Amino acid sequence: MLSTLLFAAALNTGFQHPNPSPPAELPVAVYQQRRTRVLAELGECAAVISSQGEVNGITEDYRQDADFYWLTGINEPGAHLVLQPQSPYRKVVLFLKARDPEAERWTGPRDPVSPELVIKYGVDRVRRGSPDELLADTGLHHDCVAIIAPGGMDKVDRNDDELAQRLAGRFGLKIVYKRGLLAALRSAHGPEEIERMERAIAITAQGHNAIARATVAGVSERDVQTQLEYAFFANGGTGLSYPSIVGSGPNGAVLHWDKNSRILQSGDLVVADAAAEYGRYASDVTRTYPVSGHFTAEQARVYRAVYQAQEDIFAAIKPGVSMAELQHVAEDSLRRAGYLKDFIHGFGHFVGLDVHDAGDYERPIPVGAVFTVEPGVYLPALGFGVRIEDEVLITEQGYRLLTSAIPRKLEDVEAWVARERQRRR
């Protein structure tokens, strides 16, 4: 009875239930084009790559690894993709996990293998089970086998590495390592990917408007988190890019603070590192908010140093620059400001299907890459930290600031906070 009354009261407040449209699936042609690029890079070599996703929660929610998802758009475990550039009719063969009627009563029905499924995934063949039998034929028509699975996992953790090694051993094929291939291709985003990341950033901006309103004395970090995440989902977010970080006062000096348990106090700074995901593509934004509405003289001095580091990095972005070079720019800027020892992380990272996405930090950043610019200074002895994080897109001429709609200059942040808090009254 009480819950019914509370629900009725909620309706009487005029609460509007959001009804955002979910993102459409990317066209199958996008995945076909990506696989064509990989086939061209393989030359005489065959390759196999297997799904490496993770299962979480009591409902066993599956999240595909970014490499396999980028190649297929498939979000299910136990899948393999066999690439055979020398085959005239079976260049791309997809293997899916065998069907289990009992399991499907829990997880939902899966499509039977059919000509329609071949069209759906845009491949030459779809089969179920292990690709061993097909790989036997592959070994007869290729001179080498390429290992394209990224490094970082032991071979016992990656069955595609083991499959490739077994194929090479059986037929005496040469093994060619192309572990950086997918990272190089994935880091240069196509227009369909950039569109989704820009949408994720627009949704994230609405969440940070909520943070600007919510970071007042007397509320908890968890309350701020609740309000910002509601704003993400209410504006069409399909997930969180990562667990939201809301660090007030001394917690703002902890890089990955995740307890979100402290009560905000007047005079605090709040470092809020939180971003929405849209259609599997991530965003990543951090802003530092003054609870009182204004930065103190010391807080302002640190904030301006971090802001200037961002400006120096932006000024150095040009065709041919590498992430490693930009790291030196960030360090030089904060060294001049006297805060280098308090800058305890890299200046940024690539963003895409993963929030920390694939990319080579030593080579020139390719056109189409999206990465963060996020210098920070952390002063636990003074009880605060400052981080400002934005995203940029590399273009032929230089870069485009994707997060320009979210205020970051000190005076603009103070005005933004005042404006948003006026709205909540």
Give 119-135 pLDDT, tens digit per residue.
999 999 999 999 988 88
SS3 of residue 226 by DSSP: helix
Span 243-260, mean pLDDT?
96
Does the pLDDT at position 3 exceed 60?
no
d(Cα 129, Cα 159) in Å, to the nearest integer?
Answer: 13
Nearest to 86 by CA among 160, 165, 140: 140
Can you say how many angstroms the Cα of residue 424 is from the centroid of all Cα atoms in its chain? 31
* Cβ atoms of residues 323 and 359 within 8 Å: yes
* Cβ atoms of residues 51 and 77 within 8 Å: yes
Between these two residues, 140 and 329, which has the higher pLDDT value?
A: 329
Long-range CB pairs of 334-338, under 8 A, 24+ apart, other chains included: 334/305, 334/306, 334/309, 334/375, 334/377, 337/305, 337/308, 337/309, 338/305
Domain segments of the chain as ranges: 28-186, 188-423
Would you state the pLDDT for residue 7? Answer: 38
Q: How confident is the model at residue 154 (pLDDT cuts 50, 70, 90)?
A: low
What are the start-end ranges of the E strands in 295-362?
A: none
* Cβ atoms of residues 382 and 249 within 8 Å: no
Residue 107 Rama label (left phi>0; alpha psi -120 to 50; beta): alpha
* Cβ atoms of residues 230 and 277 within 8 Å: no
Can you say how many angstroms the Cα of residue 290 is from the centroid of all Cα atoms in its chain? 27
Would you state the pLDDT for residue 105? Answer: 82
Q: Which residues pair with 126 in a beta bridge?
A: 94
d(Cα 325, Cα 316) in Å, to the nearest integer?
Answer: 9
Task: Tell me the CATH class for 188-423.
Answer: alpha beta
DSSP calls for 90-107? -SEEEEEPPP-HHHHHHH
Task: Tell me the CATH class for 28-186.
Answer: alpha beta
* Cβ atoms of residues 334 and 343 within 8 Å: yes
To which H or E segment does residue 421 belong?
Answer: helix 410-423
SS3 of residue 277 by DSSP: strand
pLDDT, tens digit, 9 for 90 and up, residues 207-246: 999 999 999 999 999 999 999 999 999 999 999 999 999 9
